Amino acid sequence: MSNHLSTAELAELRAQLEAKRTHLQQQIGALRTAEGANTPPEDEPSTDAPEDSGEQSVDMQAQDTERAVEADMRAQLVAVTHALAKFDTGAYGLCERCGKPIPLARLRRVPEARYDIEHQAEAEAKGRA
């Protein structure tokens, strides 16, 4: 494991990541459940009356927003899962670009951090963050 972090610090960060993973999974599940509740049954006739078009537009916008929120949560979940996998390889807490230790303060704020500050800025500039 990365020697710049103590066993207690690693345990703290792993617990933080595991809690974040559970929270994200619950939020995604709740969104999926809500989405299913808002979908009309397939045998229910749809109404295409002009007075319904405004409502449909609002509903479609809400669905688009929910999909974007869910996509963001799924991306966060992928990052958290990736970080947890790095514990097993001993690579947790090391910058994926240069291999240098990521400062503990940064890991406590963003436990799924893949890069140190310098390389995070580069990744964001290239759109890979």
47 domain-assigned: no
Segment 72-77 shows an average pLDDT of: 96
Which of the four pLDDT bands, split at 50, 70 and 90, describes residue 32? confident
Backbone angles phi, psi at 101, to 5 degrees: -65, 140
Residue 1 Cα to chain centre, angstroms: 24
105 domain-assigned: yes
15 domain-assigned: yes
CATH (domain of 70) = 1.20.120.910
pLDDT of residue 1: 46
pLDDT of residue 13: 98
Least confident range from 55-69, 89-103, 113-127: namely: 55-69
Domain around 14:
7-41+53-125
Q: Is 112 helix (H, G, I), strand (E, B) or coil?
A: coil
34 domain-assigned: yes
pLDDT of residue 28: 93
Total domains present in the chain:
1
Rounded CA-CA distance 81/64 in Å is: 25
2 domain-assigned: no
81 domain-assigned: yes
